[in-house]
Copies of this chain bind each other. A is one copy, B any other.
Amino acid sequence: VAAGLGEFEIIARFFAPLSANRRGALGLLDDAALIAERPNRSLVATTDTIVAGVHFPPDAAPADVAGKLLGVNLSDLAAMGAEPEAYLLALALPRAWSAADLSSWLEGFTAGLAARQGEYGIVLIGGDTVATPGPLTLTLTALGHVETGRALLRSAAQAGDIVYVSGSIGDAALGLRVLRGELAALEAEHRAFLLDRYRLPRPRLNLGRRLPGIAKAAADVSDGLVADLGHICAASGVAARIDADRVPMSAAAVTAIGNDPALLALALSGGDDYELVFTAEAPMAQAIAQLSQELDLPLTAIGEIVPPGDGQADGWVRVERNGAPFVIDMAGWQHLG
């Protein structure tokens, strides 16, 4: 398709090994891939596109691009409580690249996929490769499965549920600032930590697959904590109240916000953390504490689901600090994408 490398050559050399001889992948050479279906399971399917210069820097290491592409998609499976199974990959590769550029990029990219797909329990089963006059554009479709009726939906939250979030919030948005040369007052170790959190999403698959039966509604934190909790509220016809001081933050984020308190709003509303935000009934607190310990992953209660009303639209999220409203000007914090 590009620079003298044909599609079949690209498949054989770079992608066929990623199918790990999965039978239904048909060597990545057939018209489509096959997955045997099972009774009482539901297929879970999601697709996400990332574009060079929009979702990742054009000079990003190809293995990091692979990690980001897998991460953002598998995070969606995690948020549904699904077990990942396989993925398809559609690549639009810049025509302007030389054969050497293309080979070296594909080598790094497929090495990045190979390094992570075992950990996630997935293999490549199909895809497409085309040439583009535009920027590198990558689309991944992730397929997983969940016991029928047990998927975690955004629409399942109810007034009285406790709102939990995994890990720490705001690191990725702060990491993007570091990438742009800001936050220079932070020590190098903190800067590196935040940058890494921006660069490489770590989908919370181990958490997601344990949440059916414990959580009610869930979403991944891709657009930002306030926005994604808002999506749960909108889908469920409820509202939420969270306490800014209970939102878990890393030492690096705490230091950055200590230096510049205006960054708190960025941390609460910035995207790309790929943590899970979920709701659960109050009596689940002990099961959640136990799960947190087992997974060695903080699961922090940050507020509660409340009825809509007060003249507010569904999906409204009230952020409080010391009992007073903490107003976030969302328009001020544009996502890179």
- On A, residues with C-beta under 8 Å from B are 1, 24, 26-27, 29-51, 53-55, 75-77, 79-80, 82, 88-92, 125-128, 130-135, 137, 139, 141-146, 148, 151, 153-155, 218-220, 231, 234-235, 337
Contacts and interface: CB of A to CB of B under 8 A. Distances in A.
B37 A76 contact: no
B45 A79 contact: no
A143 B42 CA distance: 13
Contacts of A142: 32
A218 B337 CA distance: 41
A51 B29 CA distance: 22
Nearest to A46: B32
Contact of A139 (B31, B82, B90, B125): B90
Contacts of A39: 37-39
B235 A51 contact: no
A27 B79 CA distance: 16
A269 to B, nearest CB: 15
Nearest to A130: B49
B133 A134 contact: yes
When A and B form their complex, which 10 residue pairs have the shortest distance between CB atoms, in order from nearest? A134-B134, A37-B37, A32-B46, A31-B76, A31-B79, A139-B139, A35-B43, A141-B141, A49-B90, A47-B88
Contact of A92 (B26, B49, B153): B49
16 contacts: A24-B42, A26-B153, A32-B44, A32-B80, A33-B46, A35-B45, A37-B41, A50-B130, A51-B130, A51-B132, A53-B133, A54-B133, A92-B137, A133-B134, A134-B134, A134-B137
A127 B48 CA distance: 7
- For this chain, the copies found in one complex come to 2
A219 B26 CA distance: 13
B33 A44 contact: yes
Given A39-B38, A235-B29, A48 B154 contact: no
Given A29-B234, A53-B133, 7 more contacts: A30-B153, A32-B77, A37-B43, A39-B39, A47-B139, A90-B90, A132-B137
Contacts of A148: 36-37
A149 to B, nearest CB: 10
Given A45-B88, A135-B133, A137-B92, A34 B151 contact: yes
Contacts of A29: 154, 231, 234-235
Nearest to A36: B42
Contacts of A151: 34
A302 to B, nearest CB: 20
A23 to B, nearest CB: 10
A49 to B, nearest CB: 4
A49 B79 contact: no
